[in-house]
Amino acid sequence: MSSAAAFSYAPLLPTGPDQTDYRLVTDEGVDVVHGPGGRRFLTVEPAALTALTAEAMHDIAHFLRPAHLAQLRAIIDDPAASPNDRFVALDLLRNANIAAGGVLPMCQDTGTAIVMGKRGRHVLTDGADAEAISRGVYQAYTRLNLRYSQLAPLTMWDERNTGSNLPAQVDLYAEDPDGHPDAYKFLFMAKGGGSANKSYLYQETKALLNPTRMMQFLEEKLRLIGTAACPPYHLAIVIGGTSAEYALKTAKYASAKYLDALPTSGSMSAHGFRDLELEAEVLELTRNFGIGAQFGGRYFCHDVRVVRLPRHGASCPVAIAVSCSADRQAVAKITPSGVWLERLETDPARFLPDVTDDSLDAELVVRVDLNRPMDEIRAELSKYPVKTRLSLSGPLVVARDIAHAKIAERLDAGEPMPQYLRDHAVYYAGPAKTPEGYASGSFGPTTAGRMDAYVEKFQAAGGSQVMLAKGNRSGQVTRSCQQHGGFYLGSIGGPAARLAQDCIKHVEVLEYAELGMEAVWKIEVEDFPAFIVVDDKGNDFFAEVTKPVLTVGRR
């Protein structure tokens, strides 16, 4: 063994100066007291932590960062963007404008509340910080028009919705944030199931660490993300890590732009760094996938962050994560001057272009009357190729995971397919709470793939002949649609507030009211946007664009 290197220390993730634009939430609940040795201590009351958390969860449900909105506008202004790219971007901007009204959240899946905090050594609290933060989450989700998505396990097999969206994930660290001992800094996130489910860990080896193999690997894995998590994405890739879980955590932070100020080169102190060159190359790689902003084009990703971490010689974890069109996060801080929260954009209308729908309609838009018999609806859809844009009007049945499981049990018991699934197209979704005076709360599509296992059984029994949701589907769905004459229509993932305000005119429960947002609903829609993704001839729009070619190498 050679002699040991001299001791040196560097944080694994050394971030630079904080450039955030903050707004003051309150100056109550914080004070400065003097301690031994002339030290100053910041005291923080539990109520201050609760108030900050409630305000943060409100803001990230309704507002986005200006930089994110500017990226959406840039898609519309880019002549190389596809018509579908621009249509999706415009719809997402309109959705942001509606959500900023503070009534309808931008996405119906208002997510798991995730809070990470770094408390300086001169910050004093009552010690129950996680409880005070959780109370703020509770206040936001119970008072606002947000959805409860957290399930309490009662047994290994039985669950029940907690009715408050608790528990939250709260991770607190004893660390002077940015070198300030009298500061308490936070990252608040709301992570919906769609984007959370697109977090991946791959245990690789040293063989991956060459330019050609790395790009081949990334092309294969990034195509598999698909569109179920509502692109365009903020994509994060972490290569290396002292453990698998650290790689995944770093990817989550990077997708939230929390690590943008990392160094851009490595050193023998073994800290993490961003590889700006590889970021640009991976972004260009995604531009050429053809997946685009959900229905073909260039804008699968807004941007890419690539973080390189140290690793054990026998391990090379690679973590991939995305932040979706509901790019919900904000940083915050508590200092002697008060409680501060990142200033998000409250006037997203300034990013809207002066365009009409017609100016973005470079392709045919087919209007489909859902009041007609199912055979007539299918005959109409059969006239058009995949990727055709549709405008749907009429009744839809809404059913998702638990309802599908219950209906499958009925079929297995010899009962017939419910008539409502035979007569109507089925929309996979679950609404947020309905504000007073509205027909519906935010009501965007959920991930279609979770229902794939039911499709052949349901279609063979005469149901689910036309399905509507977000994201790509498995080959078994394509084969079933070809066999039974069915269709899968893709809805734009993300604009749940706009759908609620502009497209959904009536909502009623058909069955399983006790399931809350997982009940079977009937809704009336008007000019509901969708695309043909899988048709009755065995065509699947995503089949080609998700196939890796494995021929690309790093320049």
Cβ–Cβ under 8 Å, residues 99 and 105? yes
pLDDT band at 37 (very low <50, low <70, confident <90, very high): confident
Q: How far is CA 479 from CA 44, 456, 473, in A?
A: 60, 9, 11
- pLDDT at position 32 over 80: yes
pLDDT band at 255 (very low <50, low <70, confident <90, very high): very high
Partners of residue 202 on adjacent β-strands: 318
Q: Which tokens go with 39? A: 């030290």
- pLDDT at position 555 over 50: no
Q: What is the pLDDT of residues 206-223, one digit of tens each?
A: 999 999 999 999 999 999
The overall average pLDDT reported for the chain is 93
Q: How far is CA 452 from CA 305, 466, 470, 528, in A?
A: 32, 13, 12, 23
Mean pLDDT of all residues in 299-318: 98
pLDDT band at 362 (very low <50, low <70, confident <90, very high): very low
Q: Which tokens go with 419? A: 């008539």
**Share of residues in the chain with pLDDT > 70 (%):** 96
User: How far, in Å, CA of 278 to CA of 238, rounded?
Assistant: 12
Q: What is the pLDDT of residues 446-476, one digit of tens each?
A: 899 999 999 999 999 999 999 999 988 999 9
Q: What is the pLDDT of residues 140-169, one digit of tens each?
A: 999 999 999 999 999 999 999 999 999 999
Instruction: Check residue 404 and give its pLDDT.
Output: 97
**Domains assigned to the chain:** 12-62+102-191+327-347 (no CATH), 193-325 (no CATH), 360-534 (3.20.130.10)
Q: What is the pLDDT of residues 225-241, one digit of tens each?
A: 999 899 999 999 999 99
Q: What is the DSSP string of 255-315?
A: HTTTTTTS-SS--TT---EE-HHHHHHHHHHHHTSBBTTTTSBS-SEEEEEEEEEEE-TT-
Instruction: Check residue 374 and give its pLDDT.
Output: 97
Amino acid at 113: A
pLDDT band at 354 (very low <50, low <70, confident <90, very high): confident
Q: What is the pLDDT of residues 384-429, one digit of tens each?
A: 999 899 999 999 999 999 999 999 999 999 999 999 999 999 999 9
Place of tokens 């059984």: 457
Instruction: Check residue 264 and give its pLDDT.
Output: 97
Instruction: Check residue 517 and give its pLDDT.
Output: 83
